[in-house]
Amino acid sequence: MTPERFTALTSRFAQLCVGVIGDFSLDRYFDIDPAKAETSLETGLPVHNVTSVRCSPGAAGNIVQNLGALGTGKLWPVGFCGEDGEGFELLRALRAVPGVSLDNFLRTPDRRTFTYTKPLRHTPSQPPVELSRLDIKNWAPTPADVEDELCSALHDLAPEFDALIVMDQAGVPGCGVITPAVLKTVREVSLAHPRLVILADSRHGLGSFPPLVFKMNAAEFAALTTPAQTQRHSIGDIDPAAAALPLAEIMTGANRLAAASQRAVFITLAERGIIGAAPDEPAVHLPALPVRGEIDIVGAGDAVTAALTLSLAAGATLGEAMQLAQAAASIVIHQLGTTGWARVPEIKARLFR
């Protein structure tokens, strides 16, 4: 890809309308100064003094944040938060993203706001160290009336979309946004709008999803393509060896998936790069860009999802979309102690130094 082609593609981002349906979380960072450590007089336990609190949209919200950073013209988040303090902070963080409309984002007393609280210990001249994370999740199935509102919003908005991202990251299947009823609506939208770019990513695996553009990591690929693994309870149970399959084997599997779904398939491989395949293009492997110091992989997958989706909607080829996505991930992993994002000028500088 030449710099001129890069500019031609990315200049189209501002004309695109993108929907994101899925699990929106609040990423809340507690910055801890170890020099201010104390011991509790009451319990004798260590006291970690928090010197600042940082909140940003996480999970599907971080995808929205990455889309906004890339200059997307219009963003429609479709999801929910609770009527709690975490929900207030999540909505405030989403409103700060350029181009976002929250008209179809639900606030409901029937759900808690999905939250990752990340205590970070900061020591001068050293990377921040994350302590044990505190999560808030929903443990009961999503109520039917909430499902109905999500499905109705998706049907109403679909004609406006140039692309749609489906992000399934709820801690417990069926207790987040991407329930069977919502997935059925996604299928209906894909059939009604066959030219719409719809990219799906699920930490629980994509086996129950309709034919869409699939983006997955190596473990999720192994679960989807290895029958013995699909019977396990979660992606995390997969034998690590299955996630380290030879590149040639992954490329063969990607070709089969793309042929079966008649959609593009992308498999992210961390330090090994990314593999992509399409029905009319054989699988290609793009190596990862070199690491330039300490890294923090939080948010890298979201950056890839946003860049792939926007690039495809803007008319990029498979290889061009992968190039932009890899550069975006390379930028994000070098942002320490935060849920990061990448901007177009940064990506351009990374690709054409």
Query: pLDDT digit string (tens) for 223-263?
Result: 888 764 443 444 444 445 555 788 999 999 999 999 999 99
Query: pLDDT digit string (tens) for 273-291?
Result: 999 999 988 999 999 877 7
Of the candidate ranges 110-124, 143-157, 203-217, 296-310, the one whose mean pLDDT is the lowest: 296-310
CA atoms within 13 A of residue 146's CA, in its CB half-sphere: 25
Query: pLDDT digit string (tens) for 8-47?
Result: 999 999 999 999 999 999 999 999 999 999 999 999 999 9
Query: pLDDT digit string (tens) for 173-198?
Result: 889 999 999 999 999 999 999 999 99
Query: pLDDT digit string (tens) for 106-124?
Result: 999 999 999 999 999 999 9
- Do the beta carbons of residue 214 and residue 200 sit within 8 Å? yes
- pLDDT-based confidence at residue 138 (cuts at 50, 70, 90): very high
3-state secondary structure of 136: strand
Tell me the residue type at 258: A
Q: Would you kindly state where each structural domain of the chain is located, as residue ranges?
A: 3-25+60-113+140-351
pTM score > 0.85 for this model? yes
Token digits of residue 312: 């495809």
Q: Look at residue 331 in the predicted model and tell me its pLDDT.
A: 86
Q: What is the DSSP string of 247-271?
A: HHHHHHHHHHHHHHHTS-EEEE-GG
CB atoms within 10 A of CB 187: 15
Q: Domain spanning 3-25+60-113+140-351: which superfamily?
A: Ribokinase (3.40.1190.20)
Angle at 249 between CA 248 and CA 252, to 5 degrees: 85
Residue 27 DSSP code: E
